[in-house]
Chain A
């Protein structure tokens, strides 16, 4: 004990805080990551079928909350094979160069009207931008549902720039929604 001194205490403290914050396991079959956009001014919804999310969340301990989400872009499905094929190409998501999108939170805060907002950085197509998620968390014993919503602009990330920038062809605004079923990790 004498020999490790401050380092051991720091490690012990770290372990203790990690144990306090609740870690959750995502139930992939009951979870979905979807988005809504417009194509030729007609709204459509797509989803990413594969994503990993590390969720540490306790509504009473936002200081230690953390979301770390990695999305497999090639799992895109907008129920239109031509659109999906085009979207993965170099003009859009460019999965050959950027197969993953990554979101990690930097801080959680409560707004004046009581909502929880998670600030973080989304890295998409090699561009990192701050993105705020609205968080709704409903615990239910050993499980919980987590609903998150974010509003992005596709052109901020260079998705479909140049000849495809016209928002009457493809809307610039994208609403991303996550619906996650969580199981408490012991």
Chain B
């Protein structure tokens, strides 16, 4: 598997970023929805700290991923794909990047307005974005973080649905080239 993406498929680095971030996003969603239901115990405080640490990890990974993507090409869309689908797919990918950036940033903002600690896996402190407690913006930051989450859930449903549609209905390489790699060029001539 080549490190860089080619005309036919995604490179190893893009696939690693994709699946690492995917797993972390699913974990974040489950942790986030669970932690807010917990009674106040030290365990809750630790789970919140974990959610914040994973969120900051996703932020760093997505920034690296975007930086890497800017240096390389993307594989060509399947030839049979109509123009509107290509446009919709690219718009959805752009929106996903925007949300994967905005979710940790809004969480960081909310955490700052709440004046809560932000320590990455107990290693180092991240600074406040608001310079301290801000009870005026705090409820808005929380609402933004929650709203962005549900938008992300909806977009991810579309993203996963489209991947399966490509794989099972269109029987093209779109899902394959993000997972095990595209079929060989002459493979279809079997």
Task: Count chain A residues whose beta carbon lies closer than 8 angstroms to a beta carbon of B.
Answer: 16
**B137 CB to closest chain A CB, in angstroms?**
13
- Structural contact, A79 and B115, CB atoms closer than 8 A: yes
**B175 CB to closest chain A CB, in angstroms?**
41
Known: A42-B125, A79-B133. A169 touches B119 (CB 8 A): no
| CB nearest to B114 among chain A residues | A80
- Determine whether B135 belongs to the interface, using a CB cutoff of 8 Å to chain A: yes
- Determine whether B82 belongs to the interface, using a CB cutoff of 8 Å to chain A: no
Q: How far is the CA of A42 from the CA of B42 in the complex (A)?
A: 16
- Structural contact, A81 and B135, CB atoms closer than 8 A: yes
- Determine whether B45 belongs to the interface, using a CB cutoff of 8 Å to chain A: yes
Task: Count chain B residues whose beta carbon lies closer than 8 angstroms to a beta carbon of A.
Answer: 15
Within 8 A of A (CB), among B83-119: 114-117, 119
Residues of B contacting A81 in the complex (Cβ-Cβ under 8 angstroms): 114, 135
Residues of A contacting B135 in the complex (Cβ-Cβ under 8 angstroms): 81
- Determine whether B79 belongs to the interface, using a CB cutoff of 8 Å to chain A: no
- Structural contact, A169 and B42, CB atoms closer than 8 A: yes
Residues of A contacting B49 in the complex (Cβ-Cβ under 8 angstroms): 40
Point out which of B41, B45, B49 has the most chain A C-beta atoms below 10 A from its C-beta: B45
- Structural contact, B117 and A39, CB atoms closer than 8 A: yes
Q: How far is the CA of A81 from the CA of B119 in the complex (A)?
A: 20
Please encode chain B, from 30 to 50, with 1 for each CB lying within 8 Å of some chain A CB and 0 for all others: 000000000011100100010
Residues of A contacting B119 in the complex (Cβ-Cβ under 8 angstroms): 40-42
- Structural contact, B116 and A164, CB atoms closer than 8 A: no
Please encode chain A, from 65 to 108, with 1 for each CB lying within 8 Å of some chain B CB and 0 for all others: 00000000000001111110010000000000000000000000
- Determine whether B29 belongs to the interface, using a CB cutoff of 8 Å to chain A: no
- Structural contact, B40 and A80, CB atoms closer than 8 A: no
Please encode chain A, from 43 to 72, with 1 for each CB lying within 8 Å of some chain B CB and 0 for all others: 010000000000000000000000000000
| Neighbour of B133 across the interface among A39, A42, A80, CB < 8 A | A80
Residues of A contacting B122 in the complex (Cβ-Cβ under 8 angstroms): 41
- Determine whether B161 belongs to the interface, using a CB cutoff of 8 Å to chain A: no
- Determine whether A29 belongs to the interface, using a CB cutoff of 8 Å to chain B: no
- Determine whether A166 belongs to the interface, using a CB cutoff of 8 Å to chain B: yes
Please encode chain B, from 131 to 164, with 1 for each CB lying within 8 Å of some chain A CB and 0 for all others: 0110100000000000000000000000000000
| CB nearest to B46 among chain A residues | A169
Q: How far is the CA of A83 from the CA of B115 in the complex (A)?
A: 10
Chain A interface residues toward B at CB < 8 A: 39-42, 44, 78-83, 86, 163-164, 166, 169
Chain B interface residues toward A at CB < 8 A: 40-42, 45, 49, 114-117, 119, 122, 125, 132-133, 135
A sample of 6 inter-chain contacts (CB < 8 A) reads A39-B117, A40-B45, A40-B117, A86-B40, A163-B41, A169-B45
